[in-house]
Amino acid sequence: MSYETLTIIWFSIWGLIWAIYFVLEGYTAGTGILFPFLAKKEEEQRQLQESIGPFWGSNEVWLITAGGVTFAAFPETYGTMFSTFYIPLYLILFALFFRATGLEFMHKSNSSLWKQSWKWAFFSGSLLIPFLFGLTFSALFRGLSSNEHGLYITFSDVINAYGILGGSTFVLLSLLSSAIWISIKTEGAVQKRATLLAKKIWPISSGFLSLFFIATTNQTSLFNSFANEPVLWLIPGFALLFILFAGIPIVYNKWGMGFAFVSLSIFTLFAAGFTGMFPNMLPARMNSSFSLTLYEAAGSELNLTIMLWITFFIVPVVILYQIWMYRIFRGKITEKNARGY
């Protein structure tokens, strides 16, 4: 296998891992955002906590893996990306911390102030995670500033209309995913509220996703390469089709199918972004000659080869473990049997 082929395989794995993480993060982060508004009493809070309690930690394994793959397979990308996006990535780290501690500590004391504080910490962390990731990857898709010294970002590279649209779109998709997930996992009043909310969020999230793709086409060069390979337009096309098709099972309360369509939409949204970036890992907005390509960023051939063999053994184990875990905790959560986190 040639070195060029290895680098392309690893770019595909890198994008795949990020896309899987965003699918899994969607329903866990969205549940945290909806938590203060769907749960009206402690028993309902425990239902929502238990609906994601067994899963959110293992879902974060994909985030750690994505960071690890970036570091090991594309060290130049890791160094540039984590130093360039230092502030948003550190904010994401703190958001992950507050989401976890809010979920863990909320019912450790009977104090009303204690419970309220950790409830809103859980909410705040859960809201910031998808918004900041959407903001960061929108900046990546739009391209970084550059000069003779290399790539850099300014405040306006991250905080702009396109970035805010990207962050808002991922938040709305997360809310839709979580509303459907809660409808699958729970029974009673909290399920009815989630069901009603899913039907309201679906058209809004569909509209935002459509706007995001229109803005991406008009304000960035992300999809310019698709002109040479028109078949690639199927990827963003599928993202829109999946979110539109999700409306049918949502209307008819077929929550499993609805969740699958929304998950596929999130997956193909990021797949479209990574496909558009290829072969760049960190694209430059104004001058493409400053873009960092996967060939420039990749590690040695020996390193990529060894890692590929390890990946072939470890990733199937992780996937099988998660399938087993979802099967073990597949039951409905009622107010009576809810144990919380």
Each residue's pLDDT tens digit, 142-178? 888 877 666 777 777 788 999 999 999 999 999 999 9
* pTM summary value: 0.93
Q: Is the pLDDT assigned to residue 339 strictly greater than 90?
A: no
Q: Is the pLDDT assigned to residue 289 strictly greater than 80?
A: no
Q: Is the pLDDT assigned to residue 187 strictly greater than 70?
A: yes
> What's the pLDDT band for 239 if we cut at 50, 70, 90?
very high
List 152's β-bridge partners, or say none.
145
**In angstroms, how far is CA 315 from the centroid of its own chain?**
19
pLDDT at 340: 65
pLDDT at 270: 95
The CB-based long-range contact list for 220-223 (8 Å cut-off, 24+ gap) reads: 220/141, 220/142, 220/143, 220/162, 220/285, 221/143, 221/283, 221/285, 221/288, 222/141, 222/142, 222/273, 222/276, 222/277, 222/283, 223/272, 223/276
More confident residue, 112 or 240: 240
Residue 254 CB burial class (10 angstroms; 0-12, 13-18, ≥19): middle
pLDDT at 341: 63
Average pLDDT over every residue of 69-89: 87
Average pLDDT over every residue of 9-27: 93
3-state DSSP assignment of residue 129: helix
Indicate left, alpha or beta for 253 from its phi (over 0: left) and psi (-120 to 50: alpha).
left
pLDDT at 283: 86
Q: Is the pLDDT assigned to residue 107 strictly greater than 80?
A: no
Domains of the chain by start residue, with CATH:
3-328 (1.20.1630.10)
d(C-alpha 252, C-alpha 265), whole Å? 19
**Residue 153: phi, psi to the nearest 5?**
-125, 150
pLDDT tens digits for 291-334? 888 888 888 888 899 889 888 888 888 888 888 988 888 888 88
User: By mean pLDDT, which of 74-78, 220-224, 335-339 is the weakest?
Assistant: 335-339
For the chain, the residue count is 341
b/e string for 292-331 if b means 16 or more Cβ within 10 A?
Answer: bbbeebbbeeeebeebeeebeeeeeeeeeebeeeeeeeee
pLDDT at 172: 97
> What's the pLDDT band for 32 if we cut at 50, 70, 90?
very high
Q: Is the peptide bond between 279 and the residue preceding it cis, with omega within 30 degrees of 0?
A: yes
User: By mean pLDDT, which of 10-19, 88-97, 154-163, 243-252 is the weakest?
Assistant: 154-163
d(C-alpha 330, C-alpha 54), whole Å? 11
Average pLDDT over every residue of 175-202: 94
> What's the pLDDT band for 273 if we cut at 50, 70, 90?
very high
d(C-alpha 231, C-alpha 176), whole Å? 29
pLDDT at 21: 94
Average pLDDT over every residue of 206-212: 96
Q: Which residue type sits at 323?
A: I
pLDDT at 95: 94
CA dist 173 → 185, 204, 209, 269, 325 (Å): 18, 9, 8, 11, 24
Q: What percent of the chain has pLDDT over 70?
A: 98
CA dist 37 → 41, 296, 336 (Å): 10, 48, 20
pLDDT at 80: 84
- Mean pLDDT of the residues in the chain: 89
Average pLDDT over every residue of 236-254: 95
User: By mean pLDDT, which of 34-48, 170-184, 232-246 is the weakest?
Assistant: 34-48
Q: Is the pLDDT assigned to residue 245 strictly greater than 90?
A: yes
Q: Is the pLDDT assigned to residue 338 strictly greater than 70?
A: no
User: By mean pLDDT, which of 272-281, 283-292, 293-302 is the weakest?
Assistant: 283-292
